[in-house]
Amino acid sequence: MKMETKKEFRNMIQMGRTLPLGTSYVDGCMNFAVAAEGGQPCALILYHKDEAHTEMEIPFPEESRAGNVYALGIRDFPADEYEYNFKIGHQIVLDPYAKRILGREHFGEPVKQKEGGFVRCGFAVSDYDWDGDRPLEIPYENTVMYGLHVRNFTMHPSSRVKHKGTFRGITEKIPYLKELGVNHIELMPSYEFDEILSRRSAGYYGKDAEKAEESFRLNTWGYGPGSYFAPKTSYAASSDPVTEFRDMVRMLHQHGIEISMEFYFPKGTGVELMLRCLRHWVLSYHLDGIHLNGEDVPAGLLAADPILSRTKLMYQGFPVEEVYPEGALPEFKNLAEYNSGFLVDARRFLKGDEDMLDAFTWRVRRNPSGQGVINFITNHDGFTLRDLVSYDGKHNEENGEDNRDGTNYNYSWNCGVEGPSRKKAVRELRMRQMKNAFSFVLLSQGTPYIFSGDELMQTKKGNNNSYCQDNDTAWINWNLTKDAREIFDYVKKLIALRQEHPVLHRTEELRIMDYMACGYPDLSYHGKKAWYGEFEPFSRQIGLMYCGKYAKTGDRQEDDFFYVAYNMHWIEHEFALPKLPDGKIWRIAADTSNAVDGGFYESGLEPAVETQKMITVKERTVMVLIGK
């Protein structure tokens, strides 16, 4: 039904409700509410879907105003035929609470304004058959996270998916995710944002700045203001991003995979908008988790919200004492610390820095009771894992900012040659270091996080700030080389080992005590003498033993013992092995220096350690022993 005349339409308008802000449908009436700072005059702009020009401008009545919020209602409004914006003063703006955004259907293309039109807001269909779907609520200790960028994940031709760079593309890769063994994916911002930046705003200077008004570049990551309630239209293969996103979530859940998304809230974002946004995505899209990012995020307030109490909330640090006064911890641990602490310490230990054992062993053991901890050694921001062991310095020239952008604190080591190398010794060392890095993350007691592509040896050729790259630099190349297959297999097997053995991912933090009086502490440190860890500043090696008596397997049996020898020194070291309970012997489960078998031995085929008292671990190597 098209509204033929303003006279007929006027009879459909009625007083509105000032809350909730945005649009809402109640008792046959579409309600519009908008906040206008400074009491500026406001109007609702309506567009018919089939026409470019403004069909109608409806001023908000002054009598509907409460504070700086205006409202009006339209009875029997045909939402499927119309789009809308708000006009505040003389400026036409998007509704910050809009559930759909129209006009940005093609990623990376400047909006081609319809004659007399703008990017517009749309109405999302609320009805969806979830078929009994609910968030999975996998505990942090059982979660293995996998971060990805929706477009970069499947955009490369080698992805071999039909719907490249979209939510559907992710569902097509579910078999891959299951083969790898991850059970939680985290999306970089996938709500609506404007990826077009002027060159001047992107940091151009001098001659480049003169071209700023004539050209643009991309912000593919989405860390800026956004339309937080709407899935990104250009990430959808269909014309309905709302349904496509829900389909993706439901399919992931059916295969036992959780999904979370990162939200970046710039300074000045309203608290009410943040809270409503998070609730909206949890209730309307069944998100399992939210990664909060921004300067002024009211972490304590959001963490205390009862609707979000069983949703994973991840942030750089929550005020746990305020959220849980008097230590009253919740039944479901939903908060988690998500910062670069593990990354910095693990990278420094990996490259052999002095005085890192205390920090590294603390990071590996850490698993506080009040919140989880997300452990990663790479992320979207910085080097890929392959580049971490291939470059000493960043190489961001492709970004067009004279290599000034991106962090200079990479804590990387190129293994002797900057960039690609054909030297066998360099290539073998890099392979070993990548396996070492994955071992750090996947054998830590916190929740491990892998960034997509690292398991496939993705390289960005030294670019540690690929925010503006929508090309082969950022897109994952799925063509597996022999080396990439070896790394993938190592990661896959290490994830399986972790998930099979609860002693490697305990519910509570390890105490380094024999509190069960079983003859062994839950965790102990060892060096060239058993039970004596060498924590001197010059030491770069340590052995960690995990006692299986403190964890029960799925059939309620005691778990196996594990001894993880970390030697990040450039010379080999001997490690003393503690005596196991009668009937158990030490066997080698993994050895990152063993290139012949890819570094991993199949369960049941692990070779026994010869002496059972001492083992030699090669330079820059992680060795995993299993006692069974």
CATH of residue 68's domain is 2.60.40.10
- pLDDT at residue number 39: 75
Q: Residue 467 is encoded by which pair of tokens?
A: 């925010």
Domain boundary among 95, 122, 149: 122
Any domain includes 604: no
Q: Give Cβ neighbours of residue 500 (< 8 Å, ≥ 6 apart).
A: 553, 603
Q: Is the pLDDT of residue 204 over 50?
A: no
Q: Is the pLDDT of residue 202 over 70?
A: no
Any domain includes 371: no
Any domain includes 577: no
> d(Cα 97, Cα 405) in Å, to the nearest integer?
33
Cα dist from 518 to 521, 546, 551, 580, whole Å:
8, 13, 13, 12
Q: Residue 17 is encoded by which pair of tokens?
A: 């409700």
Q: Which of 275-281's residues contact partners 24+ apart within 8 Å by CB, and which partners?
A: 275/301, 275/302, 275/305, 276/20, 276/21, 276/97, 276/229, 277/228, 277/229, 278/302, 278/305, 278/308, 278/311, 279/305, 279/307, 279/308, 280/229
- pLDDT at residue number 208: 43
> d(Cα 20, Cα 28) in Å, to the nearest integer?
16
- Where are the strands (E) in 443-490, listed by range? 447-451
Q: Give Cβ neighbours of residue 306 (< 8 Å, ≥ 6 apart).
A: none
**Among candidate residues 555, 617, 552, 606, the one with its CA nearest the CA of residue 584:** 606
> d(Cα 451, Cα 443) in Å, to the nearest integer?
16
Q: Is the pLDDT of residue 20 over 80?
A: yes
8 Å CB contact between 524 and 545: yes
Report the range of poorest mean pLDDT among 34-48, 200-214, 456-470, 592-606.
200-214
- pLDDT at residue number 207: 40
Q: Which residue has the higher pLDDT, 373 or 125?
A: 373
- pLDDT at residue number 215: 65
8 Å CB contact between 351 and 440: no
Q: Is the pLDDT of residue 592 over 70?
A: yes
User: What is the CA angle 473-476-482, rounded to 5?
Assistant: 110
For residues 188 and 97, membership in a common domain is answered with: no
For residues 10 and 114, membership in a common domain is answered with: yes
* Axis-axis angle for helices 482-500, 424-442 (nearest 10): 20
Mind listing the pLDDT tens digit for each residue in 598-628? 899 988 899 999 999 999 999 999 999 999 9
Q: What is the mean pLDDT of the chain?
A: 93
Domain boundary among 93, 122, 151: 122
The total number of residues shown for the chain amounts to: 628
8 Å CB contact between 40 and 91: no
For residues 39 and 153, membership in a common domain is answered with: no
For residues 172 and 311, membership in a common domain is answered with: yes
Q: Is the pLDDT of residue 188 over 90?
A: yes
> d(Cα 256, Cα 182) in Å, to the nearest integer?
9
The torsion of the CA quartet 244, 249, 250, 251, rounded to 10 degrees, works out to 90
- pLDDT at residue number 239: 94
Q: Which residue has the higher pLDDT, 474 or 118?
A: 474
Confidence of residue 299 (pLDDT cuts 50, 70, 90): very high
> d(Cα 310, Cα 288) in Å, to the nearest integer?
8
Q: Is the pLDDT of residue 292 over 60?
A: yes
Domain count, the chain: 2
Q: Say which DSSP state 578 is in.
A: P
User: What is the CA angle 593-376-349, rounded to 5?
Assistant: 50
- pLDDT at residue number 9: 72
> d(Cα 530, Cα 525) in Å, to the nearest integer?
8
Confidence of residue 8 (pLDDT cuts 50, 70, 90): low
Any domain includes 575: no
Domain boundary among 337, 360, 383: 337
- Residue carrying structure tokens 């033993």: 545
Domain that holds residue 160: 140-193+231-337
- pLDDT at residue number 113: 53
> Above pLDDT 70, what percent of the chain?
95
**Among candidate residues 582, 584, 581, 577, the one with its CA nearest the CA of residue 611:** 577
What's the distance, CA 109 to chain centroid? Answer: 26
Any domain includes 574: no
Q: Is 393 exposed, middle or buried (0-12, 13-18, 19+ CB in 10 A)?
A: middle
For residues 117 and 168, membership in a common domain is answered with: no
- pLDDT at residue number 409: 97
Q: Is the pLDDT of residue 5 over 80?
A: no
Report the range of poorest mean pLDDT among 195-204, 532-541, 576-585.
195-204
- Residue carrying structure tokens 């890769």: 173
For residues 172 and 318, membership in a common domain is answered with: yes
For residues 244 and 117, membership in a common domain is answered with: no
For residues 102 and 146, membership in a common domain is answered with: no
Q: Give Cβ neighbours of residue 180 (< 8 Å, ≥ 6 apart).
A: 146, 455, 488, 491, 492, 495
For residues 111 and 177, membership in a common domain is answered with: no
- Residue carrying structure tokens 């300067």: 295
For residues 101 and 169, membership in a common domain is answered with: no
**Among candidate residues 210, 214, 166, the one with its CA nearest the CA of residue 187:** 166
- pLDDT at residue number 112: 63
In DSSP terms, 259 is beta-bridged to 185
Q: Say which DSSP state 125 is in.
A: -
- Residue carrying structure tokens 């998930």: 499
Any domain includes 386: no
Mind listing the pLDDT tens digit for each residue in 421-442? 999 999 999 999 999 999 999 9
Q: Tell me the Cα Rg of the chain.
A: 27
Any domain includes 127: no
Report the range of poorest mean pLDDT among 55-69, 101-115, 143-157, 594-608.
101-115
For residues 98 and 153, membership in a common domain is answered with: no
Q: Is the pLDDT of residue 209 over 50?
A: no
Q: Is the pLDDT of residue 470 over 90?
A: yes
- pLDDT at residue number 17: 94
Domain of 310, CATH number, reads 3.20.20.80
Q: Give Cβ neighbours of residue 88 (< 8 Å, ≥ 6 apart).
A: 34, 36, 40, 41, 42
8 Å CB contact between 421 and 427: yes
> d(Cα 396, Cα 390) in Å, to the nearest integer?
15
pTM above 0.85, yes or no: yes
What's the whole-number mean pLDDT along residues 406-420? 97
Q: Say which DSSP state 330 is in.
A: -
What's the whole-number mean pLDDT along residues 438-456? 99
- pLDDT at residue number 415: 98
For residues 148 and 237, membership in a common domain is answered with: yes
What's the whole-number mean pLDDT along residues 54-62? 90
8 Å CB contact between 130 and 285: no
Q: For the stretch 519-531, what's the b/e string if a residue is b when 16 or more beta carbons lie within 10 angstroms of its beta carbon?
A: ebbbbbbbbeebe
Q: Is the pLDDT of residue 350 over 70?
A: yes
| Strands lying side by side in the sheet with 29-35 | 13-15, 69-75, 29-35, 22-26
Any domain includes 477: no
